[in-house]
Structure formats: C-alpha cells, structure tokens
C-alpha cells in the first residue's frame, strides 16, 4: 500500500489535534471525566469521538480497496474526500459553534464515502464471480 498510509498519517495528526483540544480544556479545571454539562467541552468531546467512530472503518475500507487494486487516483479521491470531510466536521464541532456548513458537508461527505466504499468493496469481492467464464 502506498496511498492509504498518506491519508492515515494526515488523519492521525488531525485526530491528535482534536484530542489535544479535549485535553486542553480538561486541564483548565474542567471535569476530568464526562463533560459536566459544559457545552464547549461537549462539542470538543463529540468532535473527537465522532472522528474515532467513522475514520477507522473508512481507512480500513480504503486499504481493502487499495489492496484489491482499485486505481490509485480513486484511492486518492477517497482519501482526499475523507480528509476534507473530517476537517470540516472536526472544525465545526471542536473549533466553532456556528459553522453549520462544516458539520453538514462533513457529515454528508462521510456518509457518501461509507456508502461508496461499501459498494466498491462488495463489487471488488464479487468481481471474480462476474468475470468467471460460464461452463
């Protein structure tokens, strides 16, 4: 694999930034566990957790597609879209209170990627049966 590690590395750095935002706020006398009902902390926690909920599966699907010989430009398109989606969503939740554009488009792009990668994995899986000669 040569493409997926690029996006895995970039997304790891974004995850680190989202993690640091939560830790930074907790270090300012905020609750060390939970959110204490503090909206700003809730947003940071959800931004961090939402990333952790979606990105690993999408990176796994992306890696499977790359190993299955999906053309590199397609894998790059998936990775770049995932990175943009998670930047938009992460910024909307963790860094801003009023960036609805980022939350909407980050979510929509993530869901489109889930559907597309799922279908592509299924197609890749069944391709040998479709291409097999009929006896």
Tens of pLDDT along 58-99? 999 999 999 999 999 999 999 999 999 999 999 998 888 888
Whether residue 113 contacts residue 56, with contact meaning beta carbons closer than 8 Å, is answered with: no
d(CA 130, CA 111): 27
pTM of the model: 0.89
Select the more confidently predicted residue: 14 or 24: 14
d(CA 25, CA 15): 16
d(CA 72, CA 50): 27
């Amino acid at each position: 694999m040569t493409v997926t590690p690029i996006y895995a590395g970039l997304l790891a750095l974004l995850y680190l930034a989202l993690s640091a935002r939560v830790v930074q706020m907790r270090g300012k006398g905020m609750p060390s566990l939970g959110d204490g009902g503090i909206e700003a902390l809730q947003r940071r926690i959800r931004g961090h957790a939402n990333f952790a909920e979606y990105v690993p599966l999408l990176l796994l699907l992306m890696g499977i597609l790359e190993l299955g010989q999906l053309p590199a430009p397609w894998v790059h398109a998936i990775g770049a879209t995932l990175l943009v989606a998670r930047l938009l969503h992460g910024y909307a939740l963790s860094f801003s209170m009023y960036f609805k554009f980022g939350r909407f488009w980050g979510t929509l792009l993530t869901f489109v990627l889930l559907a597309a990668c799922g279908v592509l994995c299924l197609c890749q899986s069944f391709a040998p049966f479709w291409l097999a000669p009929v006896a």
